[in-house]
């Protein structure tokens, strides 16, 4: 019996649970036709609805090209189909099952609401065809439902989630599975293995940026090992300084499943137990656990996938910001250098330093008083590492509307954040070269410099102290109105 491996955001051959199961099932077939096909479905309309960035779409295209070679080495054919939206996925799966006499479909589970509904529809149609649809928990090291409190409920605070996650963590969880090539598999010689996504999605403008992001497993694993082998040791000291190369920059690969969390942790541990990690390594492990925390949240709280605040009182927030400020924020023209430099980094590279994501989101919601959903959507439209759960969790954390979020009265000052985390102004001057003449003393508040008028740089569009007072009042009124 032939099998189909349906790839989604798990674009890897190493440590892919569904792939290993599909290979094992194919090898166990002792009689009759055998074969395994891998499938990826491009869904342009759905991508538009989800705000997929052109740079991430371009990375998907490049990754599929690399995957084609990796699958050939495993004697597996990779097929690429195009469907406007998820609604057509069941029809594609049914057509392939009938055409190739497929008896099993293998896939790894996703937790967003649209993806869950898509899989329910596929499950329904495969049942009518007598085809088994096997879905595996693969996205997290410990899947939703495995990390619960003493009442059997999901955690709403990160620290006890992390502590329980660590207590139940077993090194067996991170055994990285290497697939073995099939003995033979020549039954799918008519598949399409290449695609130009620019015909379906606006990726042309992203092609000049994507070469900076790896597409082969070899290069991705080399970057992972380089980070865990040295930089992770001092991660807690360097991660907050955007002028330094102190972060792993592996998020793009994690978001598309080009790399698994298990691979990251296995490389980090390198044979050690968790309690043997130093502070820097433990801090990076915490970041991986945060990713899982947000994945668990969208599973248990589907409303998060529908634009809702996690906290009930969030629906009472009256966003008072000026819509014109939204455009200036997008363009990196707010007059606050750290914010503007971060936005230009995002616009030009598809990536933003994690500390700056918090600063920028706090400025957006609590200085500009703009709805976090607009910022969340803009980030997704630009990020090469766009991941719904992580992006939503980060924005709601900064907006104080999320699960275990920053208290609403904690408001980052964009000037002091710059002075603390970019003290020499190196990051700011890299992305805002028009500020090169500004002395270090004024680099994060150039409007105070005597020669500010000579610069081609705007005055601050809002005054932080005044906006802070407005934000506190706005949040207090929403909380007073209750749920």
How distant, in Å, are the alpha carbons of 22, 355, 423, 464 from that of 246?
Answer: 38, 11, 16, 29
Cβ-contact 344, 332 below 8 angstroms: yes
Let me know if 395 is a catalytic residue: yes
Task: Tell me how far apart the alpha carbons of residues 428 and 443 are, in angstroms, rounded to a whole number.
Answer: 8
Q: Are 140 and 292 in contact (CB under 8 A)?
A: yes
Say how far apart CA 54 and CA 169 lie, in whole Å.
Answer: 37
Residue 377, SS3 per DSSP: helix
Q: Is the dihedral of CA 171, 172, 177, 180 positive or negative?
A: positive
Burial class (CB in 10 A: 0-12, 13-18, 19+), 75: middle
DSSP structure string for 124-151: HHHHHHT-EEEEE--SSSS-TTSS--TT
The angle, 0 to 180 degrees and rounded to 10, between the axes of the packed helices 337-349 and 323-331 is: 70
Query: What distance in Å separates the CA atoms of residue 467 and residue 314, rounded to the nearest whole number?
Result: 19
The residue whose two tokens read 């032939």 is: 2
Beta bridge partners, 79, equal: 39
- Which one from 45, 84, 319, 447 is the annotated catalytic residue? 319
Q: Mapping DSSP to helix (H, G, I), strand (E, B) and coil, where does residue 390 land?
A: helix
- Rg of the chain in Å (alpha carbons): 24
Q: Which of 114, 286, 347, 354 is catalytic?
A: 354
CA distance 417 to 102: 57
Which residues, at least 6 apart from 154, have a Cβ–Cβ distance to it below 8 Å? 144, 147, 148, 296, 297, 300
Which residue among 213, 395, 397, 431 is the active-site one? 395
- Rounded CA-CA distance 290/292 in Å is 5
Mark whether 372 is an active-site residue: yes
Tokens of 105: 């479909």
Question: Is 165 one of the catalytic residues?
Answer: no
Instruction: List, as one string, the DSSP characters of 256-310.
Output: TTSS-HHHHHHHHHTT--GGG--HHHHHHHHHHHHHHHHHHHHHH-GGGGGT--S
Q: Which of 6, 213, 284, 290 is catalytic?
A: 290
The conformation of residue 206, written as its DSSP 8-state character, comes to: G
Closest CA to 307 of 380, 362, 369: 380
For residues 77 and 311, give the distance between their C-alpha atoms in angstroms, rounded to a whole number: 46
Question: Is 45 among the residues known to form the active site?
Answer: no
Question: What number of other Cβ atoms are within 10 A of residue 69's Cβ?
Answer: 12
Active-site choice (351, 372, 397, 431):
372
- Considering 287, 313, 347, 447, which one is annotated as catalytic? 287
CA distances from 30 to 27, 131, 385, 421 (A): 8, 19, 42, 62
Active site residues: 287, 290, 319, 354, 372, 395
């Amino acid at each position: 019996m032939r099998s189909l491996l349906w790839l989604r955001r798990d674009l890897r051959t190493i440590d892919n649970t569904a792939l290993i199961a599909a290979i094992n099932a194919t090898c166990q077939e002792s009689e009759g036709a055998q074969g395994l096909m891998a499938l990826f479905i491009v869904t342009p309309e759905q991508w538009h609805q989800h705000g997929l960035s052109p740079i991430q779409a371009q990375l998907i295209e490049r990754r599929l090209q690399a995957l084609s070679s990796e699958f050939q080495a495993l004697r597996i054919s990779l097929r690429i189909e195009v469907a406007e939206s998820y609604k057509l996925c069941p029809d594609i799966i049914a057509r392939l099952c009938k055409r190739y006499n497929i008896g099993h479909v293998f896939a790894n589970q996703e937790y967003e609401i649209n993806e869950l509904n898509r899989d329910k529809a596929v499950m329904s149609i495969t049942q009518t065809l007598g085809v088994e649809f096997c879905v595996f928990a693969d996205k997290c090291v410990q899947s939703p439902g495995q990390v619960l409190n003493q009442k059997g409920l999901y955690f709403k605070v990160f620290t006890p989630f992390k502590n329980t996650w660590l207590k139940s963590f077993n090194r067996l969880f991170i055994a990285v599975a290497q697939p073995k090539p099939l003995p033979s598999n020549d039954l799918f010689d008519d598949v399409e293995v290449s695609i130009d996504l620019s015909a379906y999605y606006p990726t042309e403008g992203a092609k000049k940026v994507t070469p900076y992001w790896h597409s082969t497993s070899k290069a991705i694993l080399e970057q992972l090992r380089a980070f865990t082998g040295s930089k992770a040791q001092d991660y807690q000291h360097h991660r907050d300084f955007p002028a330094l190369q102190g972060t792993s920059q592996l998020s793009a690969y994690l978001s598309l499943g080009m790399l698994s969390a298990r691979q990251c942790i296995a490389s980090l541990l390198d044979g050690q137990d968790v309690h043997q990690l130093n502070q820097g390594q433990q801090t990076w492990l915490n970041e991986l656990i945060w990713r899982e925390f947000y994945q668990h949240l969208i599973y248990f709280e589907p409303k998060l996938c529908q634009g809702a605040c996690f906290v009930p009182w969030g629906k009472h927030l009256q966003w008072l910001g000026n819509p014109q400020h939204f455009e200036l924020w997008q363009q990196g023209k707010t007059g606050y250098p750290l914010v503007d430099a971060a936005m230009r980094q995002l616009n030009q590279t598809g990536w933003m330093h994690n500390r700056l994501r918090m600063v920028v989101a706090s400025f957006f919601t609590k200085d500009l008083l703009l709805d976090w959903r607009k910022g969340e959507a803009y980030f997704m439209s630009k990020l090469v590492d766009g991941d719904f759960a992580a992006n939503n969790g980060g924005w709601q954390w900064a907006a104080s509307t999320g699960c275990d979020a920053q208290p609403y009265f904690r408001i980052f000052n964009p000037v002091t954040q710059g002075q603390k985390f970019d003290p020499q102004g190196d990051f700011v001057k890299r992305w805002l070269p028009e500020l090169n003449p500004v002395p270090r003393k004024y680099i994060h508040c150039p409007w105070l410099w005597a020669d500010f008028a000579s610069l081609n740089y705007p005055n601050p569009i809002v005054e932080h102290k005044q906006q802070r007072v407005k934000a506190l009042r706005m949040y207090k009124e929403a909380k007073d109105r209750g749920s």
